[in-house]
Amino acid sequence: MTARTMLQFFHWYYPDGGRLWGEVADKATALADMGVTDIWLPPACKGASGGWSVGYDIYDLFDLGEFDQKGSVATKYGDRAGLVHAAQSLRDAGIGVIHDVVFNHKMGADEKERVQVRRADPENRTDIEDHVFEASAYTRFTFPGRNGQYSQFIWDMKCFSGIDHIEDPDDDGIFRLVNEYGDGEWNREVDDEKGNFDYLMGSDVEFRNNAVYEELKYWGRWLPEQVVCNGFRLDAAKHIPAWFFRDWVGHVRETVDSELFVVAEYWHPDMAVLRQYLDQVDKQLMLFDVALHHRFFEASKAGGDFDMRTIFDDTLVSALPDHAVTLVANHDTQPLQAMEASVEPWFKPLAYALILLREQGVPCLFYPDLYGARYSDQGDDGQSHEVDMPAIACLPRLVEVRKRFAHGPQTDLFDDPHCIAFVRHGTAEAPGCITILSNGEGMDKTVELGADHAGVRYRDYLGHCEEDVVADDHGTVTVRVNGGSVSVWSACDVG
């Protein structure tokens, strides 16, 4: 079975104009040939900013670029027909389709309602004032452009737990809506940052409302009926009660496909927190390895001062590999984003080798790292900044190496603070390889492969080291790596 390799096929600053679905379709076959097995698509539903929405300001879950709402029919990425074609092209190429699920909040309501609220301290959300007052808030979603097609559900004040803007009196902040759910408190089983991290933005969805609960389960059944669906990426999981996703994932697996791939974005580096969350959701899903991403970021900044032997310390892929999706970057960490933590370009080939060529974890590539990206936006300093994210030249080759050579048991040679290596020993059906990395000077490492490898000639598949090396009569070979680089050595006689 081919090892799973996922690609996030978008980034925060992907160009407007409805081009993405067409690009997905055009590149499906080439990606499959390279070794990509799954594509994570951006949120396909209509956002509050219509054709300019990245997708996380979710407005209408049932508008896949089909209705004239929020100033456009199509989304930023294209119309419904383009989405359906892109997903089918991926299926035809043998690639799984992973949809982004944004349930935490809604934005861009159609009507205001008079609501009762209590003010919460933004830095300690558990500190909610006793005083109840009335105000107007945009909490009624009627979706007039869709006019009840697919779902007649109307979202109103009872469907939300909190808001961040009120009128009459006009004010911004965090306000707990007074309703019949939760005895006036936020949802439990969410992250405890800021006391309780139920509230994130917009109109915060109230999952304890059974009508909401059933509507979101219905959508989970509806989407795969409309477009090819092999799994889900769950947005903002730390803000959504764990019991909800435990139930929701179980429901869609039972009613849609028991083999659905599900990964949640729980952006937290603490293993104790992630273990607790996985226990709460009955270990039904995977999580992005935030700790490993931060290790890559730190290693790239520290250069030769970082001890490479510790690269996997306190990471999800080390502790719970069956639940880890590993990544080097994503749309939240790219330059000019609020959570910017960009791995330095020199280290990215090393980082990708460490997630693509090892046994543990499911690696996720990032669109700009494969194809490059140039964009501009306003930074925290209020100035416009130009960003150039060049493609990583060796990344396609690394993905091919995963497909062709990263097979069999693994032996780690983490015996030097600046130069580490690991061996994939291959299987009876598939070859293996030796991966060696250095964050300092160029170095050699001697690897004992066994007598059955005697006399075998090895070549750096990445082309970083030009001369072949040959194993001696005992099957021992000395491989090398250039400074601040990675090399992958495989037998020359392998096709």
Q: Which are the contacts of 382, defined by CB distance < 8 A and separation ≥ 6? A: none
Domain ranges of the chain: 6-103+210-401, 106-205, 408-491
Backbone angles phi, psi at 134, to 5 degrees: -100, 145
Per-residue pLDDT of the chain (495 residues; tens, 9 = 90+): 579 999 999 999 999 999 999 999 999 999 999 999 999 999 999 999 999 999 999 999 999 999 999 999 999 999 999 999 999 999 999 999 999 999 999 999 999 999 999 999 999 999 999 999 999 999 999 999 999 999 999 999 999 999 999 999 999 999 999 998 877 899 999 999 999 999 999 999 999 999 999 999 999 999 999 999 999 999 999 999 999 999 999 999 999 999 999 999 999 999 999 999 999 999 999 999 999 999 999 999 999 999 999 999 999 999 999 999 999 999 988 887 877 789 999 999 999 999 999 999 999 999 999 999 999 887 767 788 899 999 999 999 999 999 999 999 999 999 999 999 999 999 999 999 999 999 999 999 999 999 999 999 999 999 999 999 999 999 999 999 999 999 999 998 754
CATH of domain 6-103+210-401: 3.20.20.80
- CATH code: domain 408-491 is 2.60.40.1180
The domain over range 106-205 is classified in CATH as 2.40.30.140: yes
Tell me the three-class secondary structure of 352-415, residue by residue.
HHHHHCCCCCEEEEEHHHHHCEEEEEECCCCCEEEEEECCCCCHHHHHHHHHHCCCCCEEEECC
Kindly list the catalytic residues: 235, 265
Taking the whole predicted model, whether its pTM rises above 0.75 is answered as: yes
Q: Which of 422, 436, 446 is nearest to 482 (CA)?
A: 436
